[in-house]
């Protein structure tokens, strides 16, 4: 699967977002080492801190199905800025695949690509 195909899956996943509070749908598509892809959206809650980001939804779907090795994640947010993973999501992804690639896109489809190690230098580890 190429970058554009993974980004398209992330965009489609955003259509399922539950975002009554922010009204900002986000979608993510995470590609596992064997090519399997899991998608996810953000799921908000009236207790705002209980909100789950799209990236963590996708990663939890993968891990709960037995997949722990990730190659790439694509993130889509319909904003004018590239939709970058929040700090908590960076740490969450690091747990499984610190060398994965992170594709961040915005309205119109432009995207930027980073290594997770660039986005989270000096990650916390036990």
Closer residue to ligand THU (CB): 30 or 89:
89
Q: CA-CA distance, 74 to 40, in Å (whole number)?
A: 10
**Whether residue 95 lies in the annotated active site:** no
- Report yes or no: 25 and 78 within 8 Å, Cβ to Cβ: yes
- Identify residues 90-109 at the interface with ligand THU (CB under 6 A): none
Closer residue to ligand THU (CB): 46 or 126:
46
10 binds ligand THU (CB under 6 A): no
Residues forming beta bridges with residue 116, ordered by sequence position: none
* DSSP secondary structure code for residue 43 in this structure: B
Q: Give how many residues touch ligand THU by CB under 6 A.
A: 15
Question: Which two structure tokens, joined as six digits, stand for 90?
Answer: 């960076």
40 binds ligand THU (CB under 6 A): no
DSSP assignment string, 69-118: -EEEEEEEESSSS--PPPHHHHHHHHTT-TT-EEEEE-TTS-EEEEEHHH
Q: Mask 43-82, x = binds ligand THU (CB under 6 A)? A: -x------x-xxx-------------------x-------
What residue ranges bind ligand THU (CB under 6 A)?
A: 19, 22, 24, 26, 42, 44, 51, 53-55, 75, 83, 85-86, 89
């Amino acid at each position: 699967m190429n970058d554009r195909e993974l980004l398209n899956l992330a965009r489609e996943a955003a259509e399922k977002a539950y975002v009554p509070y922010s009204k900002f749908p986000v979608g993510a598509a995470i590609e596992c080492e064997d090519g399997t892809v899991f998608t996810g959206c953000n799921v908000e809650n009236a207790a705002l801190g209980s909100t789950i980001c799209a990236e963590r939804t996708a990663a939890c779907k993968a891990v709960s199905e037995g997949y722990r090795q990730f190659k790439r994640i694509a993130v889509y947010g319909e904003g004018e800025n590239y939709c970058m993973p929040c700090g908590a999501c960076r740490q969450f992804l690091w747990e499984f695949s610190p060398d994965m690639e992170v594709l961040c896109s915005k309205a119109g489809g432009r995207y930027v690509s980073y290594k997770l190690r660039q986005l989270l230098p000096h990650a916390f580890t036990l």
